[in-house]
Structure 1
Amino acid sequence: MEALQNVFNNREIAFGIWIIIAIIIGLFTKAGRKFLITVLPIIFSRKFVLFYIIFLSFFSLTVLYLFYSKFWDLYLLKDTIFWVIFFEIPLFVKSIDTAKDGRFFAKLIKDNLALIVIIEFILNNWTFDLVVELAIIPITLLLGGLLAFASREEKTVSVKKIINGLLVVFGIVVILFTASNLIQRPEELLNIDTLKEFTLPIILLFMNLPVVYGLALYNTYEQVFIRVKGEPKEQQKMKRLLFQFAGINLTRVSSIRNSLIRTITISRTAEDLKRHLGEFEQYLNTRIGDNYMKRSRFYILSCILMIIICLAGIVACNSKVGLRDLLTFNFVLDIPKMKEIVTNVLSTGLAGSICLIIYFIGFRRRKYEEISQIKKFALHDLLVLVRYQSKTLQEFPPIEDPKRLFIQYITIANDINRECNKAVVSYDNLFTYWELEALKRLQTYTVSLISTIGIDNIDSYNAEDFAKFFNEKKKSAIQNEKINIFIDDTERGIKKYSEQIEHCMEQFKDCI
């Protein structure tokens, strides 16, 4: 056990023990074996195996590079394996569903450089005794399950408050325990090995982004290619045309996927597709929302590139090292033999680039404020409704009170749907790709909610009429001992609608 504790901390050991117990239970129960029989063929399908090979090859080269650059060592093996299992694999799954443009990767990097990452790292640096950690894991899982269950119904709000209180108390205990260890034994945290353990996940994330991007790109292309129709030879030509049009630009591929009617659906030959892609290119070029910030982004990226070139040039000119040492960061500055002329030129370029990037960041901000003001004016009525609906959203919608439901949700959803239709038709080119997608999803969820209720013309109803209609439909709906199908569908519709309202609040926060 001591040898094990030299490699893993008590929390990791406890977690491993419970995983082993869960696997054993799964193998010796009928439900567990059935689950494995269903899942294993999917996990080890041909496409996934090919991806595993590509990922492991790229990842191995990454670790090998870090090893030769004298950053990675065997004591980081545990952290590396944990990163792959608990971060990289979930990231791949998430990228398949979520990665549609560069914003996904920008948010990913931002989240992994946030202050909370540092806090979590410090909190996980010290753990309780193994017996305590073994008890904490099932208790935490039990409280989490109870919290999820208690959050489903209004009558269990008191239980939810109690569980939240227990979790807060537990969090305070962990923070106090960590603070005590940090004060008494700061050397365990403030050393080069701990610094490497902290920076390793961030470095691995940056170095493996090409694989994640490649997976998202491949998945999007696959969704596009599967819609290509026509003769086999024409299909091959059409696929080549699509790749020539979009290349490795994930945003452009996603734009095609979201505009199948404009491009692929109406094309049966390569000539048809070529013509429609030309028209689609013109459409993309007229989109103010996607193109308005291009110039400022180009300026900023150019300045960043110049800063990197100048820094690399200064290092190269002031250090007596070879290319391999430069690539592995294994060099020492040789100041007495500085190449003064080149150094002065590059230093001037570096200073100029830093000044320019500061200026262009301000320029970008001004451009962003300009387009935000235009959107704020164009979408005034819609944004007012979205903001009002966001304020009236409730954790437990008043399903049992149709009058309140009508006033607080249904009428507003109907108005939002009307304004969404107007915005998408009239101001399509004003939005960025992701803003337009957010509005279309809001449009979809409002229509879905209204369709679930089953009223064609909500404007002709008042609260009394709606309550009468709602109660009659509730009585006539299919029902078993626990679930009324109409009520259940309504609750799910309101949940999706509410989530999309909050998403739109986030997307348009600078305009609201």
Structure 2
Amino acid sequence: MTILSTREWAIAIWGTGFFVWMLTQREIRKSLWNVIKILLGKNLRHFFLIIALYVAGITMIFYQLPFWNNIYLKDIILWLIIPVITILILMNVVAESEEKYRRVHKLIDIVLACIGWYMLWGAANVGLKEYKELNVINTLVSFMIPIVYTILILPLEFGLEIYSDYEQVFVRMKFRDNQDKKIQRKHRWRVIRTCKLSLRKILLFRKEYVNKMYGLMSEETFDNIMREFKEESDK
């Protein structure tokens, strides 16, 4: 059984052709590239790469299971379309805010509209097809894929959020901490040991306690800050 139907192959080919045409337009290509550079900075590139590798790893594990069928790849791709649409919306917001990106804004509007209509058509088509064929196993697996993938990606999203929050804390600490690298590392590990995986504690430390630090503070002063923070965060 093929992964894509003839109609879906046609849509993919026409979509590729439209994208290639966009790239041939010098003004659109330049504006689009500038918008992409704004959104896909170094940190976001790493973020998307980690998610892609994580999803690929989950898929490879499922691929080894006896009930796996390549047609389920479509369901996984549709599940991934949601964050892609989010990125397009962010690109649209950036493009709309700048007059020089106006043509990109119009094109993204068209792309988002096409995706919306395609998803509506796809949902109706799948529902009608499954009703006719009544393939219970495929229907159940297709229904469960978005739920299972969403649940499995939650630990990754939590881990990335923890990492991001700690990074913000450490960036702010860098400007208010002792310039000795060894002392900085020591202070950071102290913060990690105290906050652990608590988003509430990390946020509290960033908002209320980083500002109490200063470059020439003694270790006793830092100990007092951490002791006060621990008492407050444990309440």
TM-score range, shorter-chain basis?
Answer: 0.5 to 0.7
Which residue matches 2:213? 267
Name the CA shift for 1:272/1:192 in 2 (closer, same or farther; >3 Å).
same
Tell me the distance in 1 between the aligned counterparts of 2:60 and 2:155: 17
Tell me the distance in 1 between the aligned counterparts of 2:134 and 2:227: 58
Q: Report percent identity of matched pairs.
A: 25
Cα RMSD after superposing both structures: 4.2
Q: CA deviation at 1:13?
A: 5.6
Which residue matches 2:200? 251
- Larger relative helix fraction: 2
Tell me the distance in 2 between the aligned counterparts of 1:32 and 1:189: 46
Which residue matches 2:226? 277
Output aligned runs, 1:175-214, within 5 Å.
186-189=131-134, 191-214=136-159
Contact 2:130 2:139 in 1 (8 A): no
Name the CA shift for 1:264/1:66 in 2 (closer, same or farther; >3 Å).
same
Contact 2:201 2:233 in 1 (8 A): no
Q: CA deviation at 1:34?
A: 1.6
Q: CA deviation at 1:222?
A: 1.4
- TM-score (norm. length: structure 2): 0.66
- TM-score (norm. length: structure 1): 0.33
Aligned length: 204
- Larger RCO (CA within 8 A; separation ≥ 6): 2
Tell me the distance in 2 between the aligned counterparts of 1:211 and 1:32: 35
Tell me the distance in 1 between the aligned counterparts of 2:10 and 2:195: 48
Q: CA deviation at 1:282?
A: 2.2
Larger Rg: 1
Q: CA deviation at 1:33?
A: 1.5
Contact 2:23 2:29 in 1 (8 A): yes
Indicate the SS of the match to 2:213. Answer: coil
Contact 1:263 1:273 in 2 (8 A): no
Output aligned runs, 1:41-440, within 5 Å.
41=37, 46-87=42-83, 90=86, 141=113, 186-189=131-134, 191-228=136-173, 229-230=176-177, 231-233=179-181, 234-257=183-206, 259=207, 262-268=208-214, 269=217, 271-286=220-235
Q: CA deviation at 1:25?
A: 3.9
Contact 1:63 1:72 in 2 (8 A): no
Name the CA shift for 1:235/1:62 in 2 (closer, same or farther; >3 Å).
same
Which residue matches 2:98? none
Output aligned runs, 1:22-37, within 5 Å.
22-37=18-33
Name the CA shift for 1:206/1:38 in 2 (closer, same or farther; >3 Å).
same
Q: Which runs of 5+ in 1 are unaligned?
A: 95-136, 145-173, 287-512
